[in-house]
């Protein structure tokens, strides 16, 4: 399965969580709900995945944590905010660059319609 196929599956799961739970909850609630939805759908995923950063021979342990990595290739970063900002996009792009992955999805659950809260970020696609 390629990144685009995985992203379609993930977006479907995100939409189901949003339809059921609505907007306005804590990010941690959406995180647990999405984890459960991915489990129900048998979609392979890891949560709170650590990223190590390196700089001129210096390595930082657990510099960052990604919310989800789905099927070992698509990074999901969950947000609950009034609107997505450029700093959120930069964060996800940094995760993509540090891991060498090509596709990430920013998901803002604080929207009336989830589709308007989804942003694709690509690294070299």
Give the pLDDT confidence score for residue 64 in this predicted structure.
86
Q: Which residue has the tokens 């306005």?
A: 24
pLDDT at 125: 64
On average, the pLDDT of the chain sits at 94
pLDDT of residue 55: 86
Per-residue pLDDT of 55-99, as tens digits, reads 898 888 767 899 999 999 999 999 999 999 999 999 999 999 999
Domains of the chain listed by start with CATH number: 3-122 (3.40.1350)
- d(CA 26, CA 118) in angstroms, rounded, equals 17
- What DSSP string runs through 13-80? HHHHHHHHH-SSS-HHHHHHHHHHHHHHTT--EEEEEEEEEEETTEEEEEEEEEEEEETTTEEEEEE-
Bridge partners for 60 per DSSP: 53
pLDDT for res 111: 96
Position 101 confidence tier, pLDDT thresholds 50, 70, 90: very high
């Amino acid at each position: 399965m390629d990144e685009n196929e995985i992203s379609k599956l993930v977006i479907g799961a995100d939409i189901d969580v949003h339809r059921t739970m609505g907007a306005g909850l804590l990010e941690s609630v959406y995180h647990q709900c999405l984890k459960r939805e991915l489990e129900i759908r048998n979609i392979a995923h890891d949560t709170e995945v650590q990223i190590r950063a390196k700089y001129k021979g210096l390595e930082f342990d657990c510099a960052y944590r990604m919310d989800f990595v789905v099927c070992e290739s698509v990074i999901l970063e969950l947000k609950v905010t009034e609107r997505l900002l450029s700093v959120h996009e930069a964060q996800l792009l940094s995760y993509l660059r540090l891991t060498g992955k090509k596709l990430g999805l920013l998901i803002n659950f604080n929207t009336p319609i989830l589709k308007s809260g989804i942003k694709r970020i690509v690294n070299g696609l």
